[in-house]
Chains A and B, each alone.
Chain A
Amino acid sequence: MESRKEVVFGHLILVIGAFVALYPFVSVLLQALSPAPGSTAQGLTLENFIAAWTRGGFSRSLFNSALVAISVVVATAVAAVLAGYVLSVLKFKWRVLVFALLMIGLVLPSEARIIPLYNFFSSTGLLNTYWALILPQVASSLPLATFWMANYFSQLPDSLGEAAALDGAGEFQTLRYIYAPLGMSAVMTLSCLIFLYTWNEFMLALVLMPDNVAVQTAPLSLSFFAGNERTTEPEVIAAAAVLVALPVVIAYFLLQRRFMSGLLDGAVK
């Protein structure tokens, strides 16, 4: 029932859309691979990457980004599994209240808490440390993560917990040996999502770790590095941008199904 003309036209549109979506990243990639002015290299070269890596200190900032993102993911996942279990399976008495409180955080923009966070970390001397970026991001990831896990656990049959109870397992053992292992797949999807958000976070990093190169994350380093256009060639900036994007892009292509379902399901909640 589908006509050949419609099939060709439809796919043509998709190809154009895909081209537009790819073009900026591919053009930056090509720019990064082409020799900078004054370079003796011919054709494609990796020397811009080497220049960016050494001049921009990206080994340090990529490590910082990974450390912050992994800390946020692990802390959020543990807290969300515990909270999701007690809210859905154990049916915590005041769960409606807890869900309502978490609902606030789902839509709260960073702008609404950035000033007090800055004051808090500067008065405790934690400004320009990893803590200043980890703690607020655990807090902002928790609502989504908790809804996610509560929702997942509530879809599992009640008989699981009952069977465990008959075998003499306590509530925590039931979580540890039954619900937590079953929830691993949901935790993985969730972790991809939180990792992505944390890796890409910019405003919090800009405000909460502005002066300490040793802890700055990759997007912030890139922003400062790219701001010095007078001293840095565009080819080297492009290479730096590719370095910052690459870990997430690789993870995305390897785990695309998880990312996709995560981003789309995350939106529904």
Chain B
Amino acid sequence: MSASPLARTDAENRQPERAAGTAGRFVWRHTLYLVPGLVIYALFCLWPLAETVRFSFQRWDGITEPRWVGWRNYLAIFTDPQTLTVFGHGLIMIIFYAVLPLLIGLLIVAIMTRIRIRLLAVFRTVLFLPQILATVVVAVAWRWIYAYDGPINALLTAVGLGHLSRAWLGDFDTALNSVGLIGTWINFGLCMVLFIGGAQKIGRELYEAARLDGAGPFQEFMAVTLPGLRGEISIALVLTVTNALRNFDIVWNTTSGGPGTSTLVPSYLIYEGAFITRNVGFAAAASVVLTLLILVLTGVITRALRQRD
């Protein structure tokens, strides 16, 4: 992780100049190489971002003249209990999308460090499958699994717990957790693959040294495996936390935020405000807050887990 592209190009700066001798000088011709990409990037990424920020300070129904309202939309986000609940749901999603898969991955890798894994390539391919399926397909699959006549209830009935069966996505008490568990399913394989790969790069001698010092499996895990996986943990968390806060697709295709507002998440709130209730300024402010939340969280994660070498 420490070798970010920026750091790498900085390092090149210090190397001797190339024989061609164009380095360090501004060459107009070189901008031609950048034009195709940067024009599209500026038009469809940077400019929309700037517009979103501008909208977030306006009151606008998408049709009539927008009105400048200063920070009022932001104020609304942080004072309206309903909106705060929705952002709270976003944070709960982090538990399901990021924390649970991380813990499952770590638990499993703790068991795996002592053995050589057979058929690793096959396991990796299968464990990774949830990552490549379209979210709509995932949603359709899980709607069936959670359905009233679906496999979960069938299993419950089979083991004599039939009274617990219900329409999991349609029940106020279980809908949010059920949606979250889909996220756990999407991401647990990613964590496992990342951590198993990382653990195999940890030197055998570290484990032998730990064992010579009389470390048991738990101490060995804390002293050798966990620090050795710092980079992988950071990658896994950045990916899954981002994933958790942007889970529009799954919610749209399973519960549409319902029943009631029990599975409403920030992305869904933004979509609704922007295109259905036409409260564009508020939706824009919410997307700025969501973006900042993602930026801050991923920033904190990478900083906290940076390898000190």
The answer to whether B115 touches A238, judged by C-beta atoms less than 8 angstroms apart, is no
Q: What 1/0 mask marks residues of chain B from 178 to 215 whose CB sits below 8 Å from any chain A CB?
A: 00000001001100111001000000000000000000
For B163, list chain A residues within 8 Å (CB). Answer: none
The answer to whether A27 touches B136, judged by C-beta atoms less than 8 angstroms apart, is no
Q: What 1/0 mask marks residues of chain A from 182 to 219 whose CB sits below 8 Å from any chain B CB?
A: 00000000000000100110110011000000000011
A 1-33 contacts with B by CB, 8 A: 1-3, 6-7, 9-11, 13-14, 17-18, 20-22, 24-25, 27-28, 31
Q: How many A-B residue pairs have CB under 8 A?
A: 320
The answer to whether B33 touches A101, judged by C-beta atoms less than 8 angstroms apart, is no
For A24, list chain B residues within 8 Å (CB). Answer: 130, 138, 141-142, 145, 185
For A268, list chain B residues within 8 Å (CB). Answer: 1, 235
12 further contact pairs, Cβ within 8 A, besides A154-B9, A220-B136:
A92-B34, A96-B6, A108-B291, A111-B271, A115-B55, A139-B44, A202-B136, A223-B252, A237-B140, A248-B134, A260-B193, A268-B235
Residues of B in contact with A (beta carbons under 8 Å apart): 1, 4-6, 8-10, 12, 18-20, 22-27, 29-31, 33-34, 36-38, 40-41, 43-49, 51-52, 55, 108, 111-112, 114-118, 123-145, 147, 151, 185, 188-189, 192-194, 197, 235, 238-239, 242, 245-246, 248-249, 252-253, 266-267, 270-271, 274-275, 280, 283-284, 287-288, 290-291, 294-295, 298
26 residue pairs from A and B, CB less than 8 Å apart: A13-B111, A13-B112, A18-B127, A24-B142, A25-B137, A75-B40, A78-B36, A86-B33, A87-B34, A90-B30, A94-B26, A107-B242, A109-B246, A111-B267, A111-B290, A111-B291, A114-B270, A115-B52, A136-B44, A142-B45, A165-B19, A200-B136, A202-B134, A202-B135, A218-B134, A267-B235
Residues of A in contact with B (beta carbons under 8 Å apart): 1-3, 6-7, 9-11, 13-14, 17-18, 20-22, 24-25, 27-28, 31, 75, 78-80, 82-83, 85-88, 90-96, 98-105, 107-120, 135-136, 138-140, 142-143, 146-147, 150-151, 154, 158, 161-162, 165, 171, 196, 199-200, 202-203, 206-207, 218-220, 222-223, 226, 234, 237-238, 240-241, 244-245, 248-249, 252-253, 256, 259-260, 263-264, 267-269
